Chains A and B, each alone.
Chain A
């Protein structure tokens, strides 16, 4: 496949300045570089949910599966299990993945199935015009919570680490180079990987300045060490004032679901009819 810039004819409908552009450019860059390193682009399937984030699959000229709100993960798992040689990359919103469909995320991490989830975490429902999400800070004034929310956010990385993910990272939409290198690594990682991208929604929750002030890149961090990873992940809880680490928190090598599940599957069975007959005979 020879596609200079992986673009489609679809016109972008994201707001000018939206952090989704950064994710789009970073993933296109990552795919192009992986392609140059020998990854066949036809072996890539992009899966998305429903939300502003999800439009990304319309903008990339690669196989895609535009799924339902909250249902990126199970579709991605089905595609992967149907053909394990594929690289399956899911794009989901924070409402999508951490709200509507969080159970799928937990189970995919638990299985350590070899798919990559990229979360466009703008901490707001963009497409439905600005309601709070599971990662909005306490007191967030959205359209469904005009007086401010009464609940604390979850720390998604902590939840997914506890669930068994083998690769966890964070980036922001102000830092395409870091995003690109994380995406590449996450896609190549064998096992369940999740990248939480602090993607800024300029229209409903503009956090550019806040993030620029608080983020720093992880250094001297041993990503193989679970406890170090957990401590770093807990440094900022998506609510309080704290330094926000970017980079790879955790990376480990564990057996994947499909390695175990498909281990002793025979290939094509030639004569199923005669096996059916055998089974029936036994039940006389």
Chain B
């Protein structure tokens, strides 16, 4: 087989996540391209959690509803995912926990606890044991798994290998996966890609208050803070987060913050402050289903207009919505660059699906990221923080410079930074700040702000944004359709978008929300969608699921 999907499920706290990663690495090692979808409830112990590990000979960034193999660490997994299995009996289960007859299924039962006891291994090693059986089931040699286990487990690698061997020996081959003769690619989550992209963009400080699905960025950057000399701070609230970041920004430090909808709500006054005081900052907005607390650990695309309109007043903002790990890396770096070049807030919209899924990452696919230098004060005339000039970007100086006095303000201000309520000054300053957009737009023309995939000659195109990129590309392929994905959301790349739509007669908008937010946005620019496919149950589109919905729309 050149493609496989494996589901592993159990209770939260079983180590399903880690197991999913190991299976992913195993298939990656064989040269397959891998995507891992994680589904878990907002609970630490108990509750059903599962991962779908999909591997294919071509690049993928979406899962399928149908799977080839189900690994069940508890009874619930059998019942819940019964309909997914393509072939009967392709189950591997813990025979001491799971009663297959009760679920009316058959498969390979492994007495995990018995083996663990015999090997004197702790219960958590059930995972290694059953992955051993899985390795056999998909027709692989044990030594591939052995090398991965040794790399993944710093504690007791030998015991993990021993236990896995027991599972392997007790298993039987169901499917034959052949190794592909090529190297695996790095496997990282979208959140890790965002973090690395920010570092690439020159990040000095990351400030965040934990909130799913963005917390992993905080955790990751805190882990690597020393390597990159970053200041990573977790303060008392998102309000503190955004204000602290503006303090860093005032001092010329490149700073980013991360949150989700609820935390973003608390940040909006600070974002508006960033716009007024021209203090650059990047905000990573990880979407999850709302309103309010909603479904904390699931995914949605519901904050497009919130990001666009967050904060009082009118000011320029840069907004991007990357669709996979490479785009997350690239556009996070670009966001930091643009934010600092134009002294504006930038928002990177992600979601649970992008942030917490695992993707292959190919540095070769990433376009050059040009380092943008900030415009610095020439020291010739007395320093004015808000000097009026052609492109609205005033040169910078920072506190500590003995020749400059640097005054930043949330009030309307004059060039020096002192409060004014003068009508003329007010207009001049408002125009200065808004003027930047035109120049930012010119920069965007040089970047691929709108992506096109699939059959360029098709008159039917799918329109998508963010994490639906992968699923749309694959579903479109099946029907020979085109896919259009605006990555830059604001300023909206109208010209590139228009070009992308040339020849398209029917535009089908695919979004993970209930109201069609991108469809609404493009209407503002005079573009119309003919159909929408919306999903708002917190679960991502699957390739087969979207395919079915498409069939209806294109017949």
Contacts and interface: CB of A to CB of B under 8 A. Distances in A.
B247 to A, nearest CB: 2
Contact of B229 (A78, A265, A276): A265
A68 B270 contact: yes
27 contacts: A8-B418, A42-B401, A42-B405, A45-B399, A58-B419, A65-B250, A65-B407, A65-B409, A66-B413, A67-B410, A71-B243, A74-B239, A74-B240, A74-B241, A75-B250, A78-B255, A79-B251, A82-B204, A82-B250, A83-B251, A83-B399, A103-B236, A107-B236, A267-B229, A269-B229, A283-B186, A284-B25
Interface in A232-281: 261-262, 264-269, 272-273, 275-277, 279-281
Interface string B209-244: 000000000000000101111010101110111011
B406 to A, nearest CB: 5
A82 B253 contact: yes
Nearest to A13: B419
Nearest to B329: A276
A280 B361 CA distance: 8
B553 to A, nearest CB: 38
Contacts of A47: 247
Contacts of B205: 81-82
A71 B239 CA distance: 8
Given A86-B399, A277-B363, A283-B187, A78 B247 contact: yes
A104 to B, nearest CB: 6
A63 interface: yes
Interface of A: 1, 8-10, 40, 42-45, 47, 50, 55, 57-58, 61-68, 71, 73-83, 85-86, 101, 103-104, 106-107, 261-262, 264-269, 272-273, 275-277, 279-281, 283-284
B402 interface: yes
Nearest to B28: A284
Q: Which 4 A-B pairs have the closest CB atoms?
A: A78-B247, A82-B251, A74-B243, A78-B244
B60 to A, nearest CB: 17
A74 B231 contact: no
A71 B183 CA distance: 52
A50 B246 CA distance: 16
Nearest to B404: A42
Contacts of B90: none
Given A8-B418, A83-B400, A78 B200 contact: no
Nearest to B233: A81
Contact of B185 (A10, A43, A284): A284
Interface residues of B, number: 66
A62 B245 CA distance: 21
Given A50-B410, A277-B363, 6 more contacts: A8-B418, A65-B250, A66-B411, A66-B417, A74-B241, A77-B247
B265 interface: no
B200 A273 contact: yes
Contact of A63 (B236, B239, B406): B406
A6 to B, nearest CB: 10
A268 B237 CA distance: 29
Contact of A107 (B235, B398, B410, B419): B235
B388 interface: no
B200 A66 contact: no
Interface string B32-59: 0000000000000000000000000000
A107 B25 CA distance: 43
A276 B244 contact: no
Contacts of B410: 50, 66-68
B243 A75 contact: yes
Interface in B166-210: 183-188, 192, 196, 199-200, 204-205, 207
B363 A104 contact: no
B407 A280 contact: no
Most buried by B among A44, A67, A262: A67
Nearest to A49: B410
Contact of A43 (B183, B229, B255, B400): B400
A81 B247 CA distance: 9
B273 interface: yes
A95 B200 CA distance: 42
B244 A279 contact: no
Given A42-B399, A61-B405, A284-B185, A76 B247 contact: yes
B93 interface: no
Given A68-B273, A74-B247, A284-B28, A42 B199 contact: no
Nearest to A278: B227
B408 interface: yes
B246 A78 contact: yes
Contacts of A55: 419
Given A66-B407, A273-B200, A277-B363, A77 B244 contact: yes
A73 B207 CA distance: 15
A63 B192 CA distance: 37
B244 A74 contact: yes
A63 B399 contact: yes
B396 to A, nearest CB: 13
B227 A275 contact: yes
A62 B403 CA distance: 11
Interface in B245-261: 245-253, 255
Interface in B358-415: 361, 363, 398-411, 413
B269 interface: yes
A284 B245 CA distance: 34
B258 to A, nearest CB: 16
Contacts of B363: 277, 280
A269 B224 CA distance: 12
A185 to B, nearest CB: 23
B521 to A, nearest CB: 29
Most buried by A among B228, B237, B251, B404: B251
Contacts of B413: 66
